[in-house]
Amino acid sequence: MKWILVFCLVILLLFIIIIVTKLRVIISYFHAQDDDSLKIEFKALFGLIKYKLDIPVIKIDDDSAAIVTKEKLKSGKEEKTKKEGHRKMTPDDLIKSYYDFKMLLEHVVSLHKIIRRFLKKVKIIEFEWNTLLGTGDAALTGMLTGAAWSIKGAIIGIISSYFKLQVMPQMNVQPHFQMAVTQTSFKCMLQFRIGHAMVAGIQLLKFWKGGRPKFKSKPLSALTNDKTKPF
């Protein structure tokens, strides 16, 4: 009886630790001309638990209108690669993704309220967005620079209405009047408690209706391990 009580207390303690544990999500994106890189990293328990999704290459397939990405999935403190491969996103995949999202809306009641309630508990503790723009024409570059500032301001307004913006966003748009160039770097760090995500997940299950939807798009794990077509 004593051991059962100790076991229950340990399970309860672990459950409480999981609920109060903060999860950090670091999103980094870099674009320079035709080169793109996207990294998404998850950290918990002061970095003891780590999971990273690395998408170092994003390009357009020469033989089709598909977007080709080369992805790496890493986990653990030593960031060992678990899976590596290629992914093609065709116009048909985009249509399927739209169909899946529409079906999700049909299956979940008050989806927007559930998501917004959860996002209000998500803190943005770092936000940096720098852009370098140039067209070779001074007047056109000036117009694009102003438009870029307007777009960034609108995006920050939307973000602040959904998330808890804990820091002043660090943004910059630098014009380059001598040559045509496009370069941008973006980094955002989000933080929330796992317990809040669990509550949101329970609410989604509670309001689910009509049975399990049949999604058409491929899951994230569906990578093509094709190394015969290097980038």
pLDDT per position as a tens digit, 114-154: 888 899 999 999 999 999 999 888 889 999 999 999 999 99
Query: Which tokens belong to 68?
Result: 């080709």
Task: Check if the beta carbon of residue 113 is closer than 8 Å to that of residue 162.
Answer: no
pLDDT per position as a tens digit, 176-188: 888 888 899 999 9
pLDDT per position as a tens digit, 43-73: 988 778 888 887 765 555 555 444 555 555 5
Task: Check if the beta carbon of residue 184 is closer than 8 Å to that of residue 132.
Answer: yes
> How far is residue 114's CA from residue 105's CA, in Å, rounded to a whole number?
12
Residue 129: the pLDDT is 95
Q: Give the DSSP letter of residue 166.
A: -
Task: Check if the beta carbon of residue 33 is closer than 8 Å to that of residue 181.
Answer: yes
- pTM of structure: 0.69
Per-residue buried b or exposed e for 76-111, using 16+ beta carbons within 10 Å of the residue's own CB: eeeeeeeeebbbebeeebeeeeeeeeeeeeebbeeb
> How far is residue 68's CA from residue 84's CA, in Å, rounded to a whole number?
14
Three-state SS letters, 175-226 = ECCCCEEEEEEEEEEEEEEHHHHHHHHHHHHHCECCCCCCCCCCCCCCCECC
pLDDT at 27 over 80: yes
